[in-house]
Amino acid sequence: MAYSSEADDLRPSEAAVERARRAATSAGLTRQAFLRRSAGSVLGVTSLAAFLTACGSAGTAGTGSAAVGSPPAHPTGTLRIALPGAVDSLDPTIAESVGDLAIITSIFESLVTFDAGYRALAPSLATRWHVSDDAREWVFTLRDGVRFHDGATFDASAVRKNFEYVLRPSDPYGFLFGTPVIDDSDPSVVRFTYKTPFPDLGHNLTLASGISSPKVLGSHPAKADKQVARQHVGTGPFRFVSERAGQSVTLAAFDGHWGEKPHIETLVFNVIPEESARVSALQAGDVDLVLQVAPLAARSLRSDPRLAVHESPSWSTACLMPVCDMKPFDDPRVRQAMAYAIDRKTIVEKLLLGTAALDDSMFPPGIQGYHVPATAYAHDPQKARQLLKDAGYGGTVPVRMSVRSDAVLASEISQALVAQLNAVGFATTSEVLDPAVFEADKSLPRPKYQLHWNEWGWVTGGPFHLTLGALAAQCHYRNPRYDALVARVVVTPDGRARERLIADAIDVWANDVAWITLWVPKRLDASIATLQHYQAPPNVFTKLGTSYISGSA
């Protein structure tokens, strides 16, 4: 029986939704916030450096406030967005940073996207799709009448060329799409055929697969790196106009967009590397939107009636990750002690100022397969001490912890974690490391640091860190039962059977304390109060196609 592309069939089961709703409500979230949960961070999966390991939250599902006024009849006005760093790459297949991806999301589109509530996949450049029973074949029906910004026609051939490009040997993220045979014999249909089941294609297509114009890719797409790096031509609501190196990127509304026409005439992305300078620029009226403000800055911005703070949950998790085959964390009791030692509620309240939600699952609500494990570890220092004694650690347990320097409140949170761990008998020292040094240490067979804390972005909306084994690999976690369950998840098509397998894997994970989820950060963006219909996605792909500035007509 083939799966249809109707959204119902690809949504989590009702039971899973209900369980998540109860969990979210008990965590103090409203129904609206739960439905619009979104998180994104652009951190890498184990296999990917910065891309899949979340570093600070990115992208929010955007609760947004009720829109005021109506959109202008024609694209009007300029929206100035503050970027946290210079543009590294606008190649949709390799871009990693929040800023780069905000630009890319405006220029490029993929075959699928998420619906407005970020609960299910929705049509984009493909109007519908079928997945075979065994998830070896995906057939996408392409949208008619779509043109690229340079006038080229969007068809199956364009899709095939793009996948030839993204699957080139030097692309670091091509593995997200497996090794399909792509059939573009019908210009309106593209068929992906795999030798083994590949159920995650749909979700993975929301990532690193923005479709570039075939004119840019030329006749040898696999060698089109330089062209794609220079020319940014997609089908999105905005077209690339210019870049001033290190300074700004300008996009203009694309009148020929197949969907809802953009309401803003010009987007200007300005590079302001220093965070407090970005906030000052917003307060001074020099920019209109700042992505990812810190909790303390958000608190002060809320009191300014000219500004609005957009807060919503993200699809990322902050994790404390022990190296499970190195002392002392090779003993599960020590890992349990670690879990009991952490007072997550205090950190969220005092340091994050309430801008995160507690969660015991492996990944946040809203991610396909979300399941709250039966085993949970509430703050219990006494139990932690007892467990360490039982494990034979009568004195102190030396532990070296590392954290990425670009994590939100890296120093402050790591100090809190150190204090809480040391209060139960660990002798923890912590170092804040440059991101590349941090990632390099984690990938060593014997890392220098036995404990890491980091954020992970489940940016595809699916459990891809689970199926790719990223977190487990970085924690050196091996459990035959867990590994077998994950191996089955990888090849099981979406549906109740897969959800059961994921739930079982999460239960084993929680029991073993392979790593712990500390909290689910919220995404905080700040803008002028007149920016309407702003909805940041749960992943890092900030969409501006339907936003407008009231009073700008």
Partner 1 sequence: MKRYIATRLGQGLLVVFGAITISFVLASMAGNPIDARYANISPAARAQLLHQYGYDKPLLERYVSYVGGVAHGDFGPSIGSPTGALTRVAEALPYTLILVFAAMATASLIALASATFGAIRRGSRIDAWVRNGFVALQGIPEFFAGLVLVLLFAVVLGWLPSFGATGPASYVLPVIALSLPLVATLTRLLRSQLLDVLGADFVVALRAKGLSERDIVLRHGLRNAGPPLITYLALQLGWLLGGTIIVEVVFGIPGIGSLVVSATRARDMAVVQAIVVVVAVGYVLFNLFADLAVRAVDPRVRSAT
Report how far residue 544's alpha carbon sits from residue 533's, in angstroms, rounded to the nearest whole number: 9
Q: Which stretch binds partner 1 (CB under 8 A): 56-64, 165-173, 358-366, 477-485?
A: 165-173
**Is 244 near partner 1 (CB under 8 A)?**
yes
121, 272, 362, 513: residue in contact with partner 1 (rule CB under 8 A) = 272
**In this structure, how many other beta carbons lie within 10 angstroms of the beta carbon of residue 309?**
21
The DSSP 8-state label assigned to residue 347 in this structure reads I
Residue 273 contacts partner 1 per CB under 8 A: yes
Residue 73 vs 284, nearer CB to partner 1 = 284
Site for partner 1 in 190-229 (CB under 8 A): 226, 229
Count CB-CB contacts under 10 A for residue 379. 15
Q: Is 491 in the site for partner 1 (CB under 8 A)?
A: no
**DSSP strand pairing (307-313 vs 516-528):** antiparallel
DSSP code for 391 = T
Q: Which one of residues 245, 303, 394, 395 is an interface residue with partner 1 (CB under 8 A)?
A: 245
Query: Rounded to a whole number, what is the largest CA-CA distance in the chain?
Result: 72
How far is the CA of 347 from the CAs of 338, 342, 355, 382, 438, in angstroms? 15, 9, 10, 19, 23
Helix (H) or strand (E) holding 397: strand 397-404
Q: Which amino acid is at 135?
A: A
| Coil vs helix vs strand at 339 | helix
Q: Where are the beta strands (DSSP E) in 143-247?
A: 181-183, 189-193, 238-244
Q: ω before 328 within 30° of 0 (cis)?
A: yes
Q: Which of 109, 137, 155, 171 binds partner 1 (CB under 8 A)?
A: 171
Binder of partner 1 out of 219, 284, 305, 382 (CB under 8 A): 284
Shortest spacing between CB 52 and partner 1, in angstroms: 10
Our CA dihedral for 279, 283, 288, 294, rounded to 10 degrees, sits at 30
Q: Residue 501, interface with partner 1 (CB under 8 A)?
A: no
Residue closer to partner 1 by CB (options 280, 386) is 280
Q: Does 151 bind partner 1 (CB under 8 A)?
A: no
270 is a site residue for partner 1 (CB under 8 A)? yes
Cα-based distances in Å from 310 to 57, 187, 532: 13, 41, 11
User: Considering beta carbons, is residue 287 or 397 the nearer one to partner 1?
Assistant: 287
Tell me: does residue 271 bind partner 1 (CB under 8 A).
Answer: yes
Q: Which of 281, 356, 413, 475 binds partner 1 (CB under 8 A)?
A: 281
Query: If you search the block for the tokens 């007509």, which residue do you land on?
Result: 553
Backbone angles phi, psi at 177, to 5 degrees: -115, 10
Residue 289 C-beta: closest distance to partner 1, Å: 14
* Residue 153 or 280 having the CB closest to partner 1: 280
- Which residues, at least 6 apart from 80, have a Cβ–Cβ distance to it below 8 Å? 268, 270, 286, 287, 288, 289
Query: Considering the rule CB under 8 A, would residue 246 count as an interface residue with partner 1?
Result: yes
Question: Which of 5, 38, 46, 454 touches partner 1 by CB under 8 A?
Answer: 46
**Site for partner 1 (CB under 8 A): which residue of 109, 311, 439, 494?**
439
31 binds partner 1 (CB under 8 A): no
In the complex, least distance from residue 168 CB atom to partner 1, rounded to whole angstroms: 8
Q: Select the span of 162-170, 254-262, 318-326, 535-543 touching partner 1 (CB under 8 A).
A: 162-170
Q: Is 241 in the site for partner 1 (CB under 8 A)?
A: no
DSSP 3-state of 350? helix
Closest contact distance (angstroms) between CB of 513 and partner 1 is 24
Assess 175 for contact with partner 1 (CB under 8 A).
yes
- Cα torsion for 198, 203, 205, 207, to the nearest 10°? -130
Instruction: Compare residues 90 and 338 and give the one whose CB is closer to partner 1.
Output: 90
Helix (H, G, I), strand (E, B) or coil at 23: helix
Tell me whether residue 168 or residue 261 sits nearer to partner 1 (CB atom): 168
- Round to whole Å and give the CA distance between 117 and 62: 9
Question: Running DSSP on this structure, what letter comes out for residue 303?
Answer: T
- Of these, 44, 92, 214, 262, which contacts partner 1 (CB under 8 A)? 44
Amino acid at 271: V
Closest approach, Cβ 285 to partner 1, in A, equals 7
Strands 397-404 and 451-457, how do they pair? parallel
Site for partner 1 in 86-105 (CB under 8 A): 86, 88-89, 94
Alpha-carbon distances, residue 39 vs 237, 292, 536 (angstroms): 23, 11, 9
Residue 474: in which H helix or E strand, if any?
A: helix 470-474
Span interacting with partner 1, options 83-91, 118-126, 345-353, 385-393, rule CB under 8 A: 83-91
Q: How far is the CB of 196 from partner 1 (least distance, A)?
A: 17
> Among candidates 475, 436, 452, 338, which has minimal Cα distance to 402?
452
CB of 212 to partner 1, least distance (A): 14
Stretch that binds partner 1, among 130-138, 264-272, 502-510, 528-536 (CB under 8 A): 264-272
**Total residues interacting with partner 1, rule: CB under 8 A:** 46
Pick one of 195, 230, 448, 481: the residue that binds partner 1 (CB under 8 A): 230
| Candidate list 242, 443, 481, 551; residue touching partner 1; CB under 8 A | 443
Q: Are 449 and 401 in contact (CB under 8 A)?
A: yes
Which residue, 107 or 342, is less far from partner 1 as judged by CB? 107
Residue in the block written with tokens 């073993």? 512
- Residue numbers of the site for partner 1 (CB under 8 A)? 44, 46-50, 85-86, 88-89, 94, 168-172, 174-175, 226, 229-230, 244-248, 270-274, 276-277, 280-281, 283-286, 435-436, 439-440, 442-443, 473
